[in-house]
Structure 1
Amino acid sequence: MARRKKIYEGKAKIMYEGPEPGTLVQYFKDDATAFNAEKRAKVEGKGVLNNRLSEFFMKGLTQIGVPNHFIKRLNMREQLVRSVEIIPLEVVVRNFAAGSLSARLGMAEGTPLPRPIVEFCLKDDALGDPLVSEEHICAFGWATQQDLDDMISLALRVNDFMSGLMLAVGIKLVDFKIEIGRIWENDFQRLIVADEISPDSCRLWDIETGQKLDKDVFRRDLGNLTDAYTEVARRLGVLPSNVTHAPRPTLIN
């Protein structure tokens, strides 16, 4: 479809004006970033894989009644999605200690948590997306207490769905982050899952070997990022088993 007016460009996606009011076209780039974009690369095929995987996960959420912004995939790199007012928070669900949680609390990576833990981070790259409390969120008007209750409920439903899906293909869902947006239906506000769900936004470890199949491969220089994402897609049946791997990423100075 013809390109329309660019609305927003982030590190991994571009949002364009949609063909109908209340819609956007979400374009998945091949860019990989880490450490607040201090490390950057072009990874051939990454955008295609994330588009297909996010479509797969969003469709699955729709089937179990979890509302989200996905309408349909348009082509290999673009989706038609609902336009939403994004709440300026990243919602993080953790099942095992890893990443910043391990660093903050001195817990060994892979330590099982007693229950899924939901955290909120302010979406602000300049500040490093700092961890914030529910008290901060309500005090500064980023969301109401009812919004927070609804966001936690949505996040835990996504966690149940994703954990089971991954377990069935031998992958451990260590943690993930989602974004949630507001839409209005008549005079009523509704919260729905937005942005994307992909190996960019999840930590995924092979259950048997502990091999990382997510963006930590890029963060920690553990190999070919496209190979890792392709493995996730193959196990889930999103791509045929004879897909050729893309070449290794080239870092940009």
Structure 2
Amino acid sequence: MELVYKGKTKDVYKLEDGNVLLTFKDDVTGEDGVFDPGANTVGLTIEGAGRSGLRMTKFFFEKLAEQQIPTHYIAADIERATMTVKPATVFGKGLEVICRFRAVGSFLRRYGAYCKEGQPLDAFVEVTIKDDDRNDPPITKEALAQLNILTEEEYAILEPMTKRISTVVKDELAAKGLELYDIKLEFGRDAEGNLMLIDEISGGNMRVYKDGTYISPLDLEKLVLS
């Protein structure tokens, strides 16, 4: 295996057959020892977080496969905390696509003069650039196109695909009495240039509440997969 990239929560290896291996770590993003899925730094290490995130990711990617939604997922090895995926080309240096159902996190920090915490949102989609030095700034469809990061035609696919994926996750959680407030997704292009979901879908990249109380990533996995 060839190490391609060491990330905050996962390392990426290239396999001899051309596919890619992701190794899930126990590190999670946050600040001052408090977990935050939108943070740019590793805030703490939670024992078992890697396998927990992989179990959730496997569960949701298989749900998306049933809906014929394109993803990079091939297989997962829970014991080794690894996932085999198709190779993907990222947009620019990487984008994050957030779907928001309630006003929390960075949305509330930016627009708090116009909304209340937890205020319902209608599957609001926003795109941010992965850039730790600039605090992952939001970017518009027009700017994405003019900077040659993502075409307007690709954005026209990306936005509804984000809503569809997020709604699948939201409905699965609702069936367990849980509410999805927001979720952070990543996309890339496959070998033919088609958009597909990449990275993971786990407690580490979403905010979920039960009866108004926040559910931590490890507790979420237990509730969803029990």
TM-score calculated relative to the size of structure 1: 0.81
Aligned to 2:209: 205
State the 1:19 CA deviation.
Answer: 4.0
2:66 and 2:16 mapped to 1: Cα distance? 25
Structure 2 residue 143 is the aligned partner of structure 1 residue 139:
no
Q: 1:165 and 1:75, CA in 2 relative to 1: closer, same or farther beyond 3 A?
A: closer
Whether the 8 Å contact between 2:203 and 2:221 is mirrored in structure 1 is no
Letter in 2 for 1:89: L
Structure 2 residue 116 is the aligned partner of structure 1 residue 108:
yes
Gapped runs of 5+ residues in structure 2? 31-38
1:18 and 1:171 mapped to 2: Cα distance? 37
Aligned to 2:29: 33
State the 1:9 CA deviation.
Answer: 1.0
Query: Which one has a bigger Cα radius of gyration?
Result: 1
Secondary structure of the 1:7 match is strand
Match of 2:64 among 61, 65, 77: 61
Letter in 2 for 1:196: E
Structure 1 residue ranges, 4+ long, deviating more than 4 angstroms after superposition? none
Aligned to 1:92: 98
Q: 1:40 and 1:160, CA in 2 relative to 1: closer, same or farther beyond 3 A?
A: closer
Q: CA RMSD in A?
A: 1.3
Letter in 2 for 1:108: K
Q: 1:229 and 1:36, CA in 2 relative to 1: closer, same or farther beyond 3 A?
A: closer
State the 1:33 CA deviation.
Answer: 2.3
2:218 and 2:28 mapped to 1: Cα distance? 15
Letter in 2 for 1:195: D
Structure 2 residue 126 is the aligned partner of structure 1 residue 119:
yes
Q: 1:19 and 1:73, CA in 2 relative to 1: closer, same or farther beyond 3 A?
A: farther
1:27 and 1:67 mapped to 2: Cα distance? 21
Letter in 1 for 2:21: V
Question: Deviation per CA, 1:145-183, whole angstroms, max 9, x where unpaired?
Answer: 011011112101102201110111011110111110001
State the 1:36 CA deviation.
Answer: 2.1
TM-score calculated relative to the size of structure 2: 0.90
Aligned to 2:77: 74
Aligned to 1:191: 195
1:183 and 1:72 mapped to 2: Cα distance? 17
Structure 2 residue 217 is the aligned partner of structure 1 residue 229:
yes
2:184 and 2:63 mapped to 1: Cα distance? 17
Aligned length, in residue pairs: 213
1:36 and 1:180 mapped to 2: Cα distance? 18
State the 1:230 CA deviation.
Answer: 3.2
State the 1:103 CA deviation.
Answer: 1.3
1:229 and 1:101 mapped to 2: Cα distance? 21
Secondary structure of the 2:149 match is coil
Aligned to 2:182: 175
1:156 and 1:144 mapped to 2: Cα distance? 19
Aligned to 2:47: 44
1:75 and 1:90 mapped to 2: Cα distance? 25
Whether the 8 Å contact between 2:188 and 2:196 is mirrored in structure 1 is yes
1:136 and 1:15 mapped to 2: Cα distance? 29
Gapped runs of 5+ residues in structure 1? 214-227, 240-253
Aligned to 2:2: 5
Whether the 8 Å contact between 2:144 and 2:151 is mirrored in structure 1 is yes
Secondary structure of the 1:142 match is coil
Percent identity of paired positions between Structure 1 and Structure 2: 29
**Stretch deviating more after TM superposition (134-143 or 72-81):** 72-81
State the 1:40 CA deviation.
Answer: 2.5
Secondary structure of the 2:190 match is strand
